[in-house]
Every structure is written in structure tokens, then in C-alpha cells.
Chain A
Amino acid sequence: MLRKAVLFAIGCCVFLALGGNNPASSAPADATAVTLTLDWKPEPEFGGFYAASQNGEFARHGLNVTIAPAGEGADPWQLVATGKTEFATSTADQVLIARGQKADVVAIFAVYQTFPQGIMVHKARGFKSIADVFTHDGVLLAEDNSWLHFLENKFSPVKVQITGYSGGIAEFLAKSDYSQQCFVTSEPILAKHQGGDPQTFLIADEGFNPYTTVVICKGDLWRSNPDEVKAMAAACREGWRDYLDHPDAVNATMHGLNPDMDLQTFGEAAAAQKPLIETPETKSAGLGCMNLQRWKDIAAQLVNLNVIDSSVDPGQCFVNP
């Protein structure tokens, strides 16, 4: 009897010792292994996820999360829909487009309550709003996303020449009549550090305001394994709380993964993005919460732009687990 107990105890110790050999996330050996694929490089917009990984929020909820960087090619919702990744980050309008293409993905957590995309122009041009950007000569570097269609529609006929944006601020700095899309918390800060004269306009101010950096997963996963999804959302909430309060250590980690952005910019961006993430609504309903009216608004705008058809149900697009 005693021998069995001793052997059992030794067995447990060995089991725990083997299982606890993961330095990054000290998850117990039976934690669920999942992947979270990001849709950009490691930057403050993902700070909460890296915090959850580094400081154990994921582990505490029984999750062993591998944070995978963005790849060229397939959109995040396609990766989720085809099962290449369990979770990914996307935007509300992309979720609507996905569902319009019969891909059953659903949003479970929204980092940004306010759309953080903006348009960065040279201050010397004297523009007063986004309207000026579209109605004057020059070049606008932008990805062909829904917000661009929205703005083109709002300010048509468009005078500016619009061409592709593939990241960075080099072209913007080189030519004084160039404007570009930006994350209001990122590129303008970078441009200022490199001696530029950026002025930023928030696209949300023009009336287009989708939830951004939303964590998505397959609808199937929510229906078959709601506990896993709840755990993920809860861990994200705690990780973001952690990051909002103590960003520095996590910024250092992300800077190591993305040396193109310097530590000072990381710090400034992390501070600048706070009001976009934490609002009176999140103070009562919790970080990452979403409401139906916002989804309905975006869906209506996309239908109006012929990006999706009216059969897509905004209510099916998200859950608040």
C-alpha cells in the first residue's frame, strides 16, 4: 500500500516536471494548444496578447497559445475558415465579407472600440480634413479595404491618385505630395521621429467605425467547444488589462520581434492607443465587448457600397462570451 503511494507520488512529480518545462507559458501539461495568427507585425495593437502569453493569463485559463506572425497571402479569416489556425485577428468589415463568402467565422473579442486607421498627410499641405485629401491632387498610398471604398464614395469625384500601400513610411517621407493610410498610434509617431511633419486624420470621424483587431474563430468552435472560446476571451481581457497598466516589459518583447519599430515609439504608441481601447462602455461591460448596433451600422454601410449583399446577418457575426 505504502509502496504504491510512493510510486504514485514519484510518478506525479515526474509528470509535472516534464510538463512544466515550457519557459514562455508555464501551462500545465494538459493545456489546449491553439494558434493565434496576427494580421500585422508585432506592434502595440497586439500588446495584450503578448502580455497574456508572457505573464501567464493564457496559461491560467488552460490555453497554450502560439502567437504566429502575419504571412503574405491569405487573409486571416480564410486561415480560420480552412482550419489552418484556431484564432486570428481581423476587422469587423472583414468578418462581414467572410460571412458573405459563406465562411462561418465569428468575432469574440474586439481590442479597438474606435477604428484606429487614419490618413497621414504632410502638415505643410494645410489640409483641414480627409475631404481635402481626396479632393486635391497628390498620391494616396492605401490598401484596397472597405474604408477606402467608403471614403471614395463619400468624396467622389476623387482627384487624388490612389495606389497600393505595402507598409513603411519611406515613400511618404520622400515626397511632399504623398499621403498614406496609417494606424494613428504607429506610423505618425514613427514619421515624427524620422524628421517628418505628419498630420493625421481619423477615419472614424468620417463615420466609418468598425471594431478592429477582433479575435475571430470558427463558428463551429463556438458551438462545439464554448468553454475554450470563453477561456480565450477571458484571457484576452485580462492580458489587455495587464498590458494597458504595464506595457514596458511586453513592449521590449515585441521590439525584439519587430526591430523596425524603436522602443520609444512602442512606448508612445502604447500610450496613444489607450483611449481607443478603453472607453466608458468597456468600463462597464469589460474590455473587448461588442454591441449589435455597431455591427448593424457597418453591415449597412458595406451593403450600400456593394461590398456584401444584404443576406449577411450582422447578429451572427459576433458573440460576447
Chain B
Amino acid sequence: MQTFLAVFWPPVLVLIAAIIILHIWASALDEPFLLPTPRAIVRIAINRRDDLLSALWTTTEAALIGFFCSAAGGIAAGVALSASSLVRRAFYPYTVFFQTVPIIAVAPLLMIWCGPGLPAVALCAFIVSVFPVIAGTLTGLLSTDPALEDLFRLYGASRWAKMWKLRLPSALPSIFTGLRVAAGLAVIGTVVGEFLVGVYGPREGLGVRIVSAKKQGRTDEVFAAVLVASLLGLAMFAVINLAAKLLLGRWHASEQDH
């Protein structure tokens, strides 16, 4: 219990301070359609909790699908690119396209190809979040200890054994860095995708709620939905950190307490 408190009081203190500052600022401004007070945000969140939870569910579904595709696709792409420097020089520059393409331009095309709603939104999440995974995987794979490579070569290891028993485990810390970044981006990509090609209706996602509330001047609802989306991002981040602790905890410096 003591360590629990010790870990959590710094961020909680920051949160309380932020809420107080927001409250003072919003009350002084007195323009609820521009900056609602924390109390108004919480109130609307509680009043509309069923809608918000249902929206959260929809957004989570798309974000998770997009993220898992990024994780699997990104790692696979990283492995493929690590195969030879010729392959890398030929294809790596084009993976940067994923990072730089403006989703606003691409989303309508996605909608035309696979219809509005979940497929298009999940694709937005994927496009926005895949590059960090590719980069993290590739960097990790290319940074394998050369002496260990020699060792594996000496003992006649097959290509598969080298990849599976040496390079991938060695690349895990770097892969996790990429996954951590990708998680947050996947949530952003999902919400922005929902702005553009999300479907309205009883199962609309957080992005649609945000646009809808904005149109009706209900800024407190906008803030509430944004807050819930941030919590989703935080939750995904926490899960990845847990996974990192489990897989890297015993051996990597980044998971040891210093």
C-alpha cells in the first residue's frame, strides 16, 4: 500500500493542481462555450455516461484493431527490411510516407474503398501509428551485438534460429519503444478518422461525439469526450508498459528501478 501511494502521489498532485487552475481560469473567463469549468465537464460526463461509454466502446474497438494491425504489420515490415541493405534502400523511404501523409486527404479515399465506419476508421488508426513500430523494430534488429552474431554463426545456427533466438529478443526493447508511441497515435488516428468518416448513430464513436457536441455549442461535452479519449490512450499505454515489464523486466536496464 505504501509503495502504491509513493508511486501515485506525484502525478495525482499535478492533476489536482491542473484542475484547480482550470477551475479558476474558466470561472474568470465565464464563457462556458469556450472554456467550461471542471465541474461542468464532470457533470455532463456523469449525465451522459451511457452515451460516453458506448462511444468509448466503439472507439476502443477501432483503436485496438488499428493498433494490433500496426504492431503485427510494423514488426513484420521491420523484419523484412532487416533482411538486406538493398531491400532497405529500396523500400524504407516509402514507409516514411505513413508518417507524413495527411489523414484528412486519405480518409475520404479509404471511405470510398471500404465504406464509412469501422474499416475506414481502423485503417486511419493503422496508417497513423504503424511507422514508429517499423522504425523501432528495424533499429532494434540492426543493433544486434556483432559478437553474438559471430557466436550464432560459429555454432551453425539457421537463419530462422538467428532471427527468432537472437535478433528479435535483442530488438524487443526497441520494439516496445515503438509500440508505446504507436498506442497513443492509434487513439489519435481513430478519433480523427471518426471526425472524417465515422458513422453517426447509436453506436457512434468518441470522434463523432466530439464533432456533434461542437456543432451544438456544447463545449463541456467536447471536453468530456476528449478526456475519455485520453483515458483510453492512457489505458493502452499502461497495458503496453505492463507487457514490457513482463517481457523485459528481468533483464533490460530500462525496466530496472534506478
Contacts and interface: CB of A to CB of B under 8 A. Distances in A.
A–B: direct contact at CB < 8 Å: yes
Interface stretch (A25-33, A93-101, A208-216, A242-250): A93-101
Contacts of A101: 32-33, 217-219
B111 A171 contact: yes
Nearest to A307: B216
B117 A161 contact: yes
Contacts of B218: 101
B201 A162 contact: yes
Interface stretch (A40-48, A137-145, A183-191, A289-297): A137-145
**How many of chain B's residues touch chain A, expressed as a range?**
20 to 34
Given A98-B217, A144-B200, A164-B197, A171 B33 contact: no
Nearest to A75: B217
Nearest to B213: A144
A178 B115 CA distance: 10
Contact of B199 (A145, A163, A307): A163
Contact of A102 (B32, B197, B208, B214): B32
Interface string B196-218: 11111100000010011011111
Nearest to A174: B112
B239 interface: no
A78 B212 contact: no
Interface string B175-203: 00000000000000000000111111100
Nearest to B197: A163
A299 interface: no
A208 to B, nearest CB: 15
Contacts of A148: 200
Given A97-B216, A163-B117, A164-B195, A175 B31 contact: no
Contact of A171 (B31, B108, B211): B108
A103 B215 contact: no
A256 B33 CA distance: 35
B111 A82 contact: no
Contacts of A202: none
B34 interface: yes
B200 A102 contact: no
**How many of chain A's residues touch chain B, expressed as a range?**
20 to 34
Most B-side CB within 10 Å, residue of A77, A81, A139, A148: A139
A319 interface: no
Contacts of B136: none
B116 interface: yes
Contacts of A144: 200, 208, 211-212, 215
Interface in A130-180: 139, 143-146, 148, 158, 161-164, 166, 170-171, 174-175
A166 B102 CA distance: 15
Interface in B10-50: 31-34
Contacts of A100: 217
A162 B108 contact: no
Given A97-B217, A144-B211, A170 B201 contact: no
Contacts, number: 70
Contact of B33 (A103, A145, A146, A307): A103
Contacts of A145: 215
Contact of A82 (B34, B198, B212, B214): B34
B191 to A, nearest CB: 13
Contact of A161 (B31, B115, B196, B212): B115
Contacts of B197: 163-164
Contacts of B215: 75, 143-145
A148 B200 CA distance: 11
A6 B195 CA distance: 67
A102 B115 contact: no
Given A75-B217, A98-B217, A102-B32, A158 B201 contact: yes
A307 B214 CA distance: 12
B157 to A, nearest CB: 52
Contacts of A102: 32-33
Contacts of A171: 108, 111-112
Interface in B100-139: 104, 108, 111-112, 115-117
Interface string A106-146: 00000000000000000000000000000000010001111
Contacts of A75: 214-215, 217
Contacts of B116: 139, 161, 163
Most A-side CB within 10 Å, residue of B34, B117, B195: B34
A97 B32 CA distance: 13
Interface string A85-98: 00000000000011
Interface string B63-101: 000000000000000000000000000000000000000
8 contacts: A75-B214, A77-B217, A97-B216, A97-B217, A103-B33, A144-B208, A162-B201, A175-B112
**List of 9 A-B pairs having minimum Cβ-Cβ separation, nearest first:** A163-B116, A101-B33, A162-B200, A101-B217, A144-B212, A97-B217, A144-B215, A174-B112, A161-B199
Interface of A: 75, 77-78, 81-82, 97-98, 100-103, 139, 143-146, 148, 158, 161-164, 166, 170-171, 174-175, 307
